[in-house]
Structures are given as structure tokens and as C-alpha cells.
Structure 1
Amino acid sequence: MTHVASVADTRSLAGRIAPLLVAAACLLAANGLSMTMISVRARAEGLSDALIGLLGSSYFAGLILGVLLTPFLIARAGHIRVFSTLAAISAIAVLAIAFTPAGWLWMGVRLVSGAAFCGTAMVLESWLNSIASNASRGRILSVYRIVDMMAVMGGQFVLPVFGPVGPDILIVLAILFCFALVPISLTREKNPPAPPARLVDPFMLWRVSPVALVAVFTIGLTNGAFRMIGPIYAETLGLGLDAVAAFIAIWVFAGAVFQYPAGWFSDRLDRRHVLGVFTVGAGLACLFISGASSRFELFAGVFLFGGFALPLYSLCAAHANDHAEPGQFVDVVAGLTLAYGVGAVAGPFIASLVMEIFEPAAFFIYTATLHLSLVVFIFIRILSREAVPASQRHRFVWLLRTSPMIFRLARSDKLEDKDREAR
């Protein structure tokens, strides 16, 4: 009887989260594809590297806006209505590109797209968090991460099929955004409680962990820039659309592969040492890419870059939480999100100027310089502050760069209880 009940519970859980995961797959695939598409399309339209960088900056500014506004929208209208509204806005913003002259007006479109995507991600992740129990949280998070990785990787290969210019790719993106509405609109789930709306204290994270603040800001500068400028760099080397799609997909895949060793070592060693090693690895990978002389070397380099660079955010979050007091966990993740967002707003534009003023290879030299400079700061902090004892460290969790609500999903119920008690 126990086995039967367990199977019934599992099926019930699968039935509850399935509509959310289908919607997430559509959204993540569409958003990942749109980020690559807009870079390639803007270049095909003859926009300068600097203006393409500003398109990336506008998108990440929209993410910050979404983080700040979405909790208030959910409290006002509920998860289903907010999700439906923002998914529709995402489709409208994509289709608006077909009717908007290439240039400065696209910045407004990308600002709206960033805010809408962040909002839809926050709705889904807060919804999953309300469903998750302490027993099912790990399974839900693991499946969600797999959906994220497969959707973003698979979405890249839609671009060579339809091409970056013309209306076809925009229609496909709009269909994906609209299709995400179907399972959410038909779900039998009731609206969960709204996530808390909190003001962000930008100085709190510095008091808790200077390493985490500086590192996450640097990661925003580098990873945010790569996500927008990476496709342009690949095109300047003469790669076709299929190779550009593979270039981004390999980067994403490598980040997933390297997450486990990053977590395994950071749970057993001083996290700052692991953070420093992975930061050095990311910097050296960038230098390797800048000197790559063949497609194999380029793809090998971007695999190493993704493997070392993408786990850095999760390492920073784990390190900050080791130093946070109960009651500070939500504020910590808000500070991390803000620091990353500010870096990601500045990163694409600065990187595009570097490419425009110098040669394309300077992009990865610039990125390597940022990573290796961060290593110096980490080393200084290691000398000035003792490591957190292993017995007091929180478990490393692979965090997605979707919305801050993924952090609440990743945390254990025990930590949430402590957080509530402290408040």
C-alpha cells in the first residue's frame, strides 16, 4: 500500500508541474533563441557593434525592471493573469521588430522583452516553489534545470532553419510565447500566494560578502556581454548560422556539465579557492579563444569558457549564503540579482565598443582581463578574511539565471523556516 500511495503521489506531483514545465520550455526556448536572433539580425541590418551592444544592455535593464515590478503585479492580479499578460506582451514585442525600423527603437522593444521574460520566469518559479515540498524540491529543481538547458540549446538550432531576417523567425518566436499560454490557462491549479515584494539594499550584500558582490557584478559584465556579442564574434570569423547556433549551445551545455564538480569541490573546500580556480579557468579559456586558428579550437575554447564561467554565479550565491544570517537570505539573492543585472547592462555595450575600436579578438582579451582581475580581488579577500568552517556551510545549489525566484525554489524548507523566524 505504501508503494501504491507513493506512486500516486508522484503522479499527482507530475500532473501538477507538467503544465508549468511545458510553459517554461516554450518560454526558455523562445527567449534563448531571441537573444541570438536579435544579435545576428541587427548585424544583418547593418547596425554598428555599439548599437548592438546597447540592445543587449536594454534587455538586461528590462530584467532588472521585471524583478522590481513583477511581485507587485502578482499581488494585484494573480499568477495566471500576470503570466498571460506578460507572455502576450513578449509575443507582441517580438512581432513589433518586423514593423519597427532597425536602430534605436529596437532598444525599447528589448527593454520590454527583458521585463516580460523576467516576469514570466518569476511567475513560473514562484508557482513551482509553492508546489514543492521538502521531499520533492530537489526533483522539481533538477527537472526544471534540464528543461532550461534542453530548451535553450534546442532553441538555438531553430535559427538556421528559418534564418535571422524576414518575418518567419519572428512568427516562430511569437508562436512559442503564445503556446506557453495554453497549459497555464488550462491548469486546474489555483493561484499560489504572491512572492514578497521587497526593496533591495545594495549595500547589504557588500556587508555580507564583498567577494560575492564584486564577482557577480563581474560575471554580469562578462556573461551578459557574451550572450549578446558572442554570436556577432562567431559571425565575424565567417561561421554560418548552424555553427553560430552550435557556438552558443556548446557554451550552455558546458556550463551544465561543470556545475557538479564546481559544487562538489566548493562544499569541501574554501569556496573562494574554487571560485578563484574557476575564474582563472574562464580567463584562460578566453585567451585561448582569442588565439583560436581553427573551428575545433574555437569550439573547444567556448566549451571551456562556458564550463568555467557559468558555474561562477552559483558559487557566488553559495559563498554569500555561507556568510548570511537567518533572515538575510532573500535580501542576499535580491542583491545578487541587482549586481548581476547592473553588470549585464554595462557589459554588452562596453564589449561592443572594444570590438568596434579594436579587432574582434579583443572581445575575449577584454573578457579574460576582467576574470583575471577578479582573481586578484578574491586573493586579497582570502588573505583578509577567514574561511567559513565546513560545518557551517550551506549546500551548493546550481542556480539558473532566470529570475531570483529560482533561489527560493532551490532553498530547503528548513532555511525558509529560519528565514521567517528571523523576520
Structure 2
Amino acid sequence: MAHALAPVTALLLSVAFLIAGHGLQSTLLPLAGSQFEFSDIAIGVISSSYFFGLVLGCIGAPYVIMRAGHIRAFAALVSLMSAAAILHPILVDPIAWSVIRIISGFCLAGFYMVVESWLNEKASNENRGTIMSIYIVLVYTAMTVGQVSITAMDISTFVPFAVASVAVSLAVIPVSLTRANQPAPITVVRFRPAKLYRTSPTALVAVLLVGVTQGGLWLMAPLYAIQVGLSTNDAAYFAATIVGAGALSQWPIGRLSDRMDRRYVMLGLAVAAVIISLIFSTLTISGLGMALVLGLLMGIATQPAYAIAASHGYDYAEADDYVETSSGLTLAFGIGSAIGPICASLVMARVGPSGLFLQVAFVQFVMGLYIVSRLFRRGSLSSEEKIDYDYASTAQVGSVISPEPLDLDDSLVISPDEFPAYESEAESPEQQALEGGMAAASNEDEPEARPLKTA
């Protein structure tokens, strides 16, 4: 294990710093927006802007990486994200915050692409699953730590914004100083939603609706907690519990879906989410204990659904289409996540804080109905026809899924040859010395470059 992690330690350290800063911001901004007397709808728009930027990053960030190279693109994106974080207390305006969050989302998408392509190339076929699973666990852990860290700060001051910016800035250092070779140029896989829908309509529709659900929960949960009378610290614990419970329950529920039709598992999660949401929308949260129970149950019922839907999509996809399938699911989730906070804020502004869970109940009810309709239209796969659930390739936080080199159709790939600036810089001895050099294409010890699952 230590031998496998040694080449990627710097990358994982950068991930810990940046995601901790990102997690702090995700909880801080709704709470700070409430203190600045932003309306619920304004906070919803600000929250949705982050996911809108993430979708734009899935489309545009690969070209930034191909033109500048991994290390320089990484440094530029992380530096821009750090600058954006510190602008929030300087430009206290909902429109400005929305623009800043779009920038942050774009930068984070690029960050994921650089880190995951690097991890994927440094891993071997024997340890790739382990390394990527450790990476996913680290992302969830750092996110939770970042959310909880706000309890040690006063959100009415400049301090938490500065801490978030510093944490993001520190992510540049390990990668900038690493002596490891950077990955070969990435390829960009084109996205064909119509084909994805024909292959697995349940996966595409479910992922879109899961995005609506999770986008609203992740970013509006702190505002809900404040509005029902909890303290700032309690709001942070509540939001972190949703994410943490989902991360812990994802693997066992995923393994359960290997033993039965995954649609039944998704349907069970949807029914549970509807029941839990309706119960808690009628109750008054009387303290932190009750809030944590709600967060725990909601996390278990809603967070693993993306992984199950993604696995269902891979069950029906050909091996050569895994990257394209993942690209489509990632984009659909991003679009749904951008819709979720806006819709949740509109409902909360209309009916009060319980509107957040009324939205969850409605969206999950619609998803359940759609899954039932598909159960009557397509039979179940046998166990032999399904792929095994994989924790690393079905998490919604990243961009690389190919466990083996893929033989992609040339019509789906944009060649790096279209970006001569990247190649000419890679051929420069001075640039190779500065950035650690490019991995030799003939090196048999290194796996081939893997394509990113980008839109």
C-alpha cells in the first residue's frame, strides 16, 4: 500500500487541502448570505451557480489543460479558485457571489480532471481500484472536515473566508514541488445524450433527478438549519452529517445492488427518501440531536443513489462506451444539481424551511414513478450480465472512470494534436526540467494515458 501511494502522495495532499477549503465554503456561504440578509432565492441562485460553473468546467477545462499542461493549468485554476474565495467578503452582493461561484465551479472541475488523470496514470492495473477508492474516501473526509471546521470560527468576520482561501492556496504547493512526471496529454470524449438515453434511460433520468435532490440538500441544508432555530455550529454539523452518512452507506448499498436489480434498490431509496422527507417536513426540529438524526437518515436515503444509477448505466453500456456513459451521467448530474438549489429556495421562500424536504419528497416521488414504469418495460439483467459495483468509478465527485485502457471510436475523440502549444512545450527540455518532464510513450512500466470522462 505504501509503495502504491508513494508516487501520488503529493496529489492526495493537494486534494485534502483544496476539498477542505471547498467544504468550508459550501457551508459558509449560505450561512453568511443569511447574515447579510440575502433572500432565500438569492442564496439558491448563488448555490446553483457553483454547479453551473462545474458543468462549464466539464466542457471547457480540458482545453485549458491541453493548452497549458497539467502543472501550469493546475496552478492557474487553483490560484483562481483561491482568489475567488477571498472575494466574497469584499464584494457582498448576490450577483457578485453568483459570478464568483461560477468561477469556483469551473476551477474545481479542472482540478478534478488534473488530479484524477494523474492518479489514473500513476496507478497500475493491480492497484488502480485501491488508489481511486482511497482518493474518493479522502474527498468525502476532507469535505466533511471542511464543513465542520466552521464551528471554530465566527462567520460574521473575515476569518472563515480567509481560511478557505488559504486552504485552497496550499493545494498548489505539493503538486508544484513534486518531481513526479506529469501525465500524457488528455483526450476529450464527446457526449451523445440521445445514445445514452437509448442505452439506459433509467440511469440518465435517475441521475438528473438525484442531482436536483442532492444539489438542494448539500447547499441549502445549512440555511434550513438556521431557519428552524439551530445555531451556526449546529447547522454545520447537520450539513456534514448528510454528506458523511451518504459516504459511509454508499459501499454497502452498492454491494446490495450487485445481488438484485439495481432499479429495485433505487426505488427503495426513493421511497425511503419520500417517507423521511414528509415526516420531517411536519416536525419541528427541537435541537441538534434531532437534526443529526434527520441528517443521518437523509444522507443514507439520498446520497448513494447516484452510484447505483451509474452502475446501472454501466451494466447496459459496452466496455468501449464507459467513458462516454460516465461523461453523460456526470453532465446530467451537474445540470440537475444546478436546478436543485434554485427550486429549493423558491419552495422555501413560499412555505418556509420545510420546503427543502417537500422538494426532496416530490423529486424522489417522480423518480420512483419513473423507475416503476421502466420495470414494466425492460426486464432485469442476470448477475452474470452486470458489472460489479465499484466505489471509485461510481462516485459523483470525479472525472476519471476507465479501469483499463479503452479503445475509443475516433469519432468520439478530439486529439491533442489540435493543441500544438501543449506538445511544443512538452518537447522543450527546459520545460521538461521545470515540470518534471512528460512520461515517455515507450515506457512499459507506465500504463497508457486514460481518457477523461468529460462532457
Q: Tell me which residue corresponds to 2:432.
A: none
CA distance in 2: counterparts of 1:374 and 1:75, whole angstroms: 38
CA distance in 1: counterparts of 2:262 and 2:408, whole angstroms: 23
Over 3 Å counting, the alpha-carbon distance change for 1:270 and 1:422 in structure 2 is: farther
Deviation digits for residues 308-327 of structure 1 (CA, Å, limit 9, x no counterpart): 21111110110001111232
Partner amino acid, structure 1, of 2:325: V
CA distance in 2: counterparts of 1:297 and 1:178, whole angstroms: 37
Q: Tell me which residue corresponds to 2:157.
A: 166
Q: Tell me which residue corresponds to 2:52.
A: 61
CA distance in 1: counterparts of 2:341 and 2:91, whole angstroms: 22
Q: Tell me which residue corresponds to 1:402.
A: 397
Q: 1:25 aligns with which of 16, 19, 31?
A: 16
- 1:84-99 map, 5 Å: 84-99=75-90
Q: Tell me which residue corresponds to 1:6.
A: none
Contact 2:25-2:164 within 8 A present in 1 as well = yes
Instruction: Please state if 1:247 is matched with 2:229.
Output: no
Q: Tell me which residue corresponds to 1:3.
A: none
Instruction: Please state if 1:199 is matched with 2:199.
Output: no
Instruction: Please state if 1:115 is matched with 2:110.
Output: no
Deviation digits for residues 136-180 of structure 1 (CA, Å, limit 9, x no counterpart): 112212221221122111111221222223211111111111111
Over 3 Å counting, the alpha-carbon distance change for 1:422 and 1:349 in structure 2 is: closer
CA distance in 2: counterparts of 1:337 and 1:87, whole angstroms: 21
Contact 1:33-1:155 within 8 A present in 2 as well = yes
Partner amino acid, structure 2, of 1:133: S
1:360 partner SS: coil
Q: Tell me which residue corresponds to 1:349.
A: 342
Instruction: Please state if 1:365 is matched with 2:358.
Output: yes
Q: 2:382 aligns with which of 385, 389, 412?
A: 389
CA distance in 1: counterparts of 2:399 and 2:129, whole angstroms: 17
Partner amino acid, structure 1, of 2:252: P
Larger deviation: 48-57 or 65-74? Answer: 65-74
Partner amino acid, structure 2, of 1:319: H
Larger deviation: 258-267 or 37-46? Answer: 258-267
Q: Tell me which residue corresponds to 1:275.
A: 266
- 1:5-154 map, 5 Å: 10-154=1-145
Give the count of matched residue pairs: 408
Q: 1:320 aligns with which of 307, 313, 317?
A: 313
2:189 partner SS: coil
Contact 2:18-2:169 within 8 A present in 1 as well = no
Report % sequence identity.
32
Contact 2:27-2:147 within 8 A present in 1 as well = yes
CA distance in 2: counterparts of 1:66 and 1:342, whole angstroms: 12
More helix by share: 1
Runs of 4+ in 1 over 6 A off after TM superposition: 420-423
Partner amino acid, structure 1, of 2:314: N
CA distance in 2: counterparts of 1:101 and 1:231, whole angstroms: 19
Partner amino acid, structure 2, of 1:358: V
Q: Shift in Å at residue 371 of structure 1? A: 0.3
Contact 1:288-1:301 within 8 A present in 2 as well = no
CA distance in 1: counterparts of 2:406 and 2:339, whole angstroms: 37
Q: Shift in Å at residue 417 of structure 1? A: 4.2
Contact 2:7-2:180 within 8 A present in 1 as well = yes
Partner amino acid, structure 1, of 2:227: T
- 1:212-223 map, 5 Å: 212-223=203-214
Where in structure 2 are there 5+ consecutive unaligned residues?
A: 413-455
Contact 1:42-1:102 within 8 A present in 2 as well = no
Q: Shift in Å at residue 403 of structure 1? A: 2.8
1:65 partner SS: helix
Over 3 Å counting, the alpha-carbon distance change for 1:13 and 1:264 in structure 2 is: closer
Q: Shift in Å at residue 250 of structure 1? A: 1.0
CA distance in 2: counterparts of 1:11 and 1:311, whole angstroms: 29
CA distance in 1: counterparts of 2:226 and 2:69, whole angstroms: 43
CA distance in 2: counterparts of 1:261 and 1:281, whole angstroms: 16
Instruction: Please state if 1:291 is matched with 2:282.
Output: yes
Over 3 Å counting, the alpha-carbon distance change for 1:353 and 1:417 in structure 2 is: closer
Contact 1:91-1:174 within 8 A present in 2 as well = yes
